[in-house]
A and B are shown apart, each in its own frame.
Chain A
Amino acid sequence: MPSPVLKYEPATSTLLAEVTKRSGQNLQACYQCRRCAAGCPVGEETGVTPDRLIRMIVVGDREEALNNLLVWKCVACYTCGTRCPNNIQTARITETLKQMAKKAHARPLTPRIADFHSAFMTSTRHLGRFNEIEALTIYETKTAIKELSQGKVKAVIDEMIGQARLALSMMRKKRLHIGVDRVKARSEVQALFEKAKGR
């Protein structure tokens, strides 16, 4: 995949300062050695490797930085950061950019990934513990409604069949947990969620 031509606007852009502060990563230390690129397991599919993402931010191209597949498909494996001679953790940068995209109400490039994480957090807030069935129901419903409204009927049916198959084999192997585990002091967990919102 060819790399996009980046818009060079370091003088007017506040992007670098913002990402540096929020991610806690010293992006300016990057000297483009590309050790990170060699180990990134999703670089090939996203067409963007950590070094490129950092470059986008350093030159100030907000549009590219918030709208590329690495931001969403990064699996947070921490390979890039472990190997980086300058200790730059790109997973922290992709986290930051996801949160910035959300704040800017930008549509995530891969809504399924964003919706999964939000369903996970909704379930955790509700019960204090992650409930596989509840979280997956929230996620699958949201995804189905969205995709149906875009006319992606086949994608929705495939997803349903796939999930039903998995649920069946989980049942057969006694891996599906029906009971509901919850934290007694849920109000304490929810207070943390409230505090997070206020920050």
Chain B
Amino acid sequence: MTQLAYYPGCSLHSSSELYDVQCKMVFKNLGIELKEIDDWNCCGATAASKTDEFLAVALPARNLGLATATGLSEIVIPCSSCYSRTLVSQKTLAADPGLKDSINAELSQKIKGDIKVSSILEVLVPRARSGELAAKAVKKLEGLKPACYYGCLLTRFPIDVNVPDDVENPQGMETVLKALGATPVDWGYKTDCCGASASVNDADQSQLLMSRIFTDAVGRGANCLVTTCPLCQFNVDAYQDAVGKKYGIEKRLPVYFITELIGMSMGFDPIEMQVDRHFVDAMGLLKELNLL
């Protein structure tokens, strides 16, 4: 078994617990044990960067210290926002030793070395390419036409970062899903913003952004959306009905986490994966396509 350090982040411990459950199930079947880092804290998400540049770096920095203490060489962070903030913190500290010393002074587990910070796709895509994912599949995802939705934070960063995918037209999720027999659609809004926390504090703005995403996905003939980000998932799932009604979009698309589709291909029980906890029904399509 390969071991990877694991940072679930606050969403995966609350409204997106299903993603946490699915990550563990899928990774285990791939021979990867996720070691959750001990006593982690919130990464600060966008709120920290909008209010305090020190905390925006310092909060993820504490987690980097805890991750280093595991002695493992790689940490996987499924939430796009946590992943982005942690990676940005690591790069910022590498370039600013003074800031690093100042933060380290407060930490019991110091930041040292440079543990590799990976998104979930950085772990999955090589395994799709090597044929490992297909080898674990007991079912083909035939008939599934996902619009792969990346949102902002997987490919765009506030500082220079080596992005392991095409910035404007990423293909990571497509690579994974094609390997499992699905036919992802080509569409134009895969890296557009859903509004993130604007869904709460600037609802009209965020609903307008989401309406563009739904209109394009439906127009391109997708029968579902797929994402790796719990914040995107929540927004485009929980608000889809309201946005649809407001903008005259009739069709509703289930919004899967990539892990639940991989899990379906692996033959896992959808209820155990909590596929029934979506706002837009996510079980119906699987039944229709004989994937249950």
Q: Are both chains from one complex?
A: yes
Residues of A within 8 A of B (CB): 22, 41-42, 45, 73, 75-79, 81-82, 87, 89, 91-92, 95, 98-99, 102, 110, 112-113, 115-118, 120-121, 124, 128-132, 136, 139, 162, 166, 169-170, 173-177, 181, 183-185, 188-189, 191-193, 195-196, 199
Partner of B10, one of A118, A136, A181, A185: A181
Contact of A116 with B201 at beta-carbon distance under 8 Å, contacts A177-B14, A188-B108, A196-B55 already known = yes
Partner of A175, one of B55, B158, B277: B277
Inter-chain contacts of A192 with B (CB < 8 A):
54-55, 58-59, 62, 103, 106
Segment of B126-134, B141-149, B192-200, B262-270 engaged in the interface with chain A: B192-200
Within 8 A of A (CB), among B265-282: 274, 276-279
Interface residues on B, range: 35 or more
Segment of B24-32, B44-52, B114-122, B215-223 engaged in the interface with chain A: B44-52
Tell whether B250 is near chain A: CB-to-CB under 8 Å. no
Cα distance, A136 to B47, chains bound together (Å) = 13
Verify A75–B53 contact, CB threshold 8 A. no
Contact of A75 with B193 at beta-carbon distance under 8 Å, contacts A81-B156, A95-B49, A130-B45 already known = yes
B102 smallest CB distance to A (angstroms): 7
Verify A174–B277 contact, CB threshold 8 A. yes
Cα distance, A130 to B17, chains bound together (Å) = 14
Contact of A196 with B62 at beta-carbon distance under 8 Å, contacts A77-B193, A89-B158, A183-B39 already known = no
Partner of A117, one of B42, B51, B103, B160: B51
Chain A contact surface mostly: helix
Verify B106–A195 contact, CB threshold 8 A. yes
Segment of B176-184, B202-210, B253-261, B284-292 engaged in the interface with chain A: B202-210
Cα distance, A199 to B51, chains bound together (Å) = 13
Tell whether B185 is near chain A: CB-to-CB under 8 Å. no
Inter-chain contacts of B40 with A (CB < 8 A):
183
Residue of A nearest to B56 (CB): A95
Cα distance, A112 to B95, chains bound together (Å) = 35
Verify B54–A195 contact, CB threshold 8 A. yes
B38 smallest CB distance to A (angstroms): 9
Cα distance, A113 to B197, chains bound together (Å) = 9
B36 smallest CB distance to A (angstroms): 12
Verify A183–B201 contact, CB threshold 8 A. no
Given contacts A75-B198, A98-B51, 19 further A-B contacts (CB under 8 A): A75-B196, A75-B205, A78-B158, A79-B152, A112-B201, A117-B47, A118-B47, A128-B42, A132-B15, A162-B203, A173-B279, A174-B277, A175-B17, A183-B39, A188-B62, A188-B106, A188-B108, A192-B62, A192-B106
Name 17 interchain pairs, CB-CB below 8 A, sorted by A.
A41-B209, A76-B50, A76-B158, A77-B156, A78-B158, A79-B191, A82-B155, A99-B52, A128-B41, A130-B42, A132-B10, A132-B14, A132-B15, A169-B238, A170-B238, A173-B278, A195-B54
